[in-house]
Amino acid sequence: MKTIVMKAPYFHYQVTCKDASGKQKWCEQVKNLVTTAGKTDIIDKYFKGSNYNAAWYLGLKAVGTIAVTDTLASHSGWTEITPYTGNRPAISFGTTSSGSNTSNALTIAINATATIAGAFTANAATGTSGVLYSASDFSVARTVASGDSLAITLTLSVN
């Protein structure tokens, strides 16, 4: 019997940083790594129909290495970074077409100097209880300062 493997839906992040005057400082486009926990969540929710949760949130990560075995409670290679006020921003998806769905743009007002090295998606607005679906590393770590803003769009695709 031949096993057929389907790749898990992945996110493509587009992150643009603007300074306080609206001038673009940098732009990053990156594809994520889907964690084992994320793949398991797809099977449990979609095929088993257990404990479905449609709420997803975006987090920012500091410098460090992501791994397929990372979970929201345990990701020893990196830490979450929050140079903004409030919870992780909620991701709102548009209409799915041809196996792809692009979120509404998220805007994060930066209120502290920090180095951001990537982003992640989780089904919890705060804390470490929940599913870390995916994480990504930017091509290089990026600096933000108080007064900057991040505009982030995520495209979820299956291929």
DSSP string for the chain: -PPP-PPPPEEEEEEEEE-TTS-EEEEEEEE-EE-HHHHHHHIIIIIS--S-----EEEEE-SS---TT--SS--TT--EE--SSSSPPBP-B---BTTEEEBPPEEEE--S-EEEEEEEEES-SSSS-S-EEEEEEEEEEEEE-TT-EEEEEEEEE--
Which residue has better confidence, 94 or 48? 94
Identify the band that residue 76 occupies on the pLDDT scale cut at 50, 70 and 90: very high
Which residue has better confidence, 67 or 46? 67
Distance CA 21, CA 121 (A): 29
pLDDT score recorded for residue 11? 87
For residues 14 and 136, the answer to whether their CB atoms sit within 8 Å is no
Distance CA 87, CA 95 (A): 25
Identify the band that residue 6 occupies on the pLDDT scale cut at 50, 70 and 90: low
Is 74's pLDDT higher than 90?
yes
